[in-house]
A and B are shown apart, each in its own frame.
Chain A
């Protein structure tokens, strides 16, 4: 009978299930986000934008952190989602939830169309092509004044209350809860993907792009799938920003957006799901604080922060945190 006592984590499936188990700190994190409502009622605007940017960073993390596809043009999908959501609302359908879904699906479709190009490239070429496509979309939006409002931005975006009851209030409570819930749901989706066999095959591809196909992984197809999912997620983030701001400007498609989200993700730590969220919080809070006290020179602070992270906390904030935990555990282990 003893023979049946299986050693822990025998099969790959068991290992996956174990990795997918909820940790206490995850629960604590999400409970913490609710606390913001009461602890910092004056900062809900900032908090909801952090949640939205966090979602955007999460979408990029799926791509960059898990599948190893670097993109310097992810704002293309963010902006596309924002414009789709904004335009639907402008022309008489201001229902936020369906608008968000439509925006996400459209951005996903765009991702699907672009993805065959992506599968062919890597390295610098990939960086430049993703950026180039984003710039082309920006220019197209700039030209299509009849549709997008061009440089003046998309006006007349009216969003109805959520479920017909919760209006977007001046305090930003509705906006925050709305953004937070969507972020949480998307996080669950991303988490599920990452801990699935599909997610594992992506990571295998990232870690060893030559070997993965050798053991029977169809890389092209997987890249296309994850690219589409990531694009859709970025589109949802874009829809959120359009709906909570009730305005869309060309800037959602700008190169700065793409570069900034990459910085945020790397700052937080790639390939960790939480990295993007933490990065968004650190970056935006730091910017908010520095911009208020030294508006002219906050760039200096942000720059120094980035350099410091690379020098002393490789792998971003989460990477540094990981090392800290490991060091602490090792010490505790040695002490015993």
Chain B
């Protein structure tokens, strides 16, 4: 369950950029990694508390995201998927090399405040950090769902994606909408990265290593739907954990078997089927 939430935290940003904006953004992991490094560095060098770094991580990574969006990504909105794949993979490679240059190839140490390392008894004992993740995940879901599906801005995003020309005609500033959405997506990626470091560790290959997991969740969840992304993440997390506990002999197979099975059964993922436009 908690592992699922973690998967969700990492994938939700991708669901925004890839799902909503329709951009195959493999560099998502690179933004997440940047978030992790910022958090780790602030804590180690400047002595910031872990929780204090989180808002800053969101902001900084979001800003970096906008920077990239304005200079590079926007030129590729109309391009084919293949070009987007190649471009973002290129970014990932550069991020890996840059991280090696700046932080070295070793694992970064992340020290959590002691109260998050406690275990809390609720019938069964739960580690506090997992509980914390659970809460963050819940809050994020509510915020993002409300923000993107119920507000005016959310409607504008969807309009801009579906038909940019029409949206412009209706007086929506498509460029700004895209930039802001992308910023939110990458900010979320950074946040997910910072939160996951405690469990996944952090080194320069983070961006490549966990890419598969993000994609897994997003594809099973279906593009562009936050609640189904959450559902997919929790399901995959549960399968993985339960599989490892009860049948450790086949541990490695479970996640992928489930994924392949679901996608063959429902190629669109969990997302409720849309009527043809």
Residues of A within 8 A of B (CB): 64, 70, 117, 120-125, 127-129, 131-133, 135-136, 139, 142, 255, 259, 262-263, 266-267, 270, 296-300, 302-307, 309-311, 314
Contact = CB atoms under 8 A, between A and B. Distances in A.
Nearest to B101: A297
Chain B interface size, under 10 / 10 to 19 / 20 to 34 / 35 or more: 35 or more
12 contacts: A70-B82, A120-B267, A125-B219, A128-B259, A128-B260, A136-B253, A139-B252, A263-B86, A299-B93, A299-B100, A302-B90, A309-B86
B219 A300 contact: no
A336 B263 CA distance: 58
B86 A297 contact: no
Contacts of B101: 297, 300
A99 B220 CA distance: 39
Contact of B223 (A70, A124, A135): A124
Nearest to B105: A296
A185 to B, nearest CB: 28
Contact of A262 (B83, B85, B91, B215): B85
Nearest to B267: A125
Interface string B169-198: 000000000000000000000000000000
Contact of B256 (A64, A135, A304): A135
A132 B252 CA distance: 11
Contact of B86 (A133, A266, A300, A304): A266
Contacts of A299: 93-94, 96-97, 100
Contacts of B268: 125
Given A121-B264, A132-B259, 17 more contacts: A120-B264, A121-B267, A125-B263, A128-B259, A128-B260, A129-B260, A129-B264, A132-B257, A136-B253, A139-B253, A142-B252, A266-B85, A297-B101, A299-B96, A299-B100, A306-B89, A307-B87
The residue in B75, B86, B95, B223 that gathers the most chain A C-beta atoms within 10 A of its C-beta is B86
Given A297-B100, A300-B93, A303-B90, A270 B263 contact: no
B72 interface: yes
A204 to B, nearest CB: 18
Interface in B222-277: 223, 252-253, 256-257, 259-260, 263-264, 267-269
Contacts of B216: 128
Interface string B65-95: 0000000100110010111011101111111
B259 A70 contact: no
Contacts, number: 113
Given A128-B215, A129-B260, A136-B256, A303 B267 contact: no
Interface of B: 24, 72, 75-76, 79, 81-83, 85-87, 89-98, 100-101, 212, 215-216, 218-220, 223, 252-253, 256-257, 259-260, 263-264, 267-269
Nearest to A64: B82
A127 B89 CA distance: 15
Contacts of B94: 299-300, 303-304, 307
A139 B252 CA distance: 7
A8 B109 CA distance: 71
Contacts of A297: 97, 100-101
The 9 A-B residue pairs with the shortest CB-CB distance, nearest first, are: A306-B90, A303-B93, A303-B94, A300-B97, A299-B97, A310-B87, A307-B90, A125-B267, A132-B260
A255 B256 CA distance: 13
A311 B259 contact: no
Contacts of A300: 93-94, 97-98, 101
Given A129-B260, A300-B97, A307 B269 contact: no
Contacts of A136: 253, 256-257, 260
Nearest to B249: A143
The residue in B72, B92, B223, B259 that gathers the most chain A C-beta atoms within 10 A of its C-beta is B259
Nearest to B258: A132
B223 A306 contact: no
B223 to A, nearest CB: 7
Contacts of A309: 86, 90
Given A124-B223, A303-B93, A303-B97, A266 B264 contact: no
Contact of A131 (B76, B82, B212, B220): B212
Contact of B90 (A124, A127, A310): A310
A129 B86 CA distance: 19
A307 B256 contact: no
A101 to B, nearest CB: 30
Contacts of B218: 124
A207 B220 CA distance: 26
A263 B92 CA distance: 13
Given A70-B81, A133-B260, A311-B75, A122 B267 contact: yes
A118 to B, nearest CB: 10
Contacts of B79: 310, 314
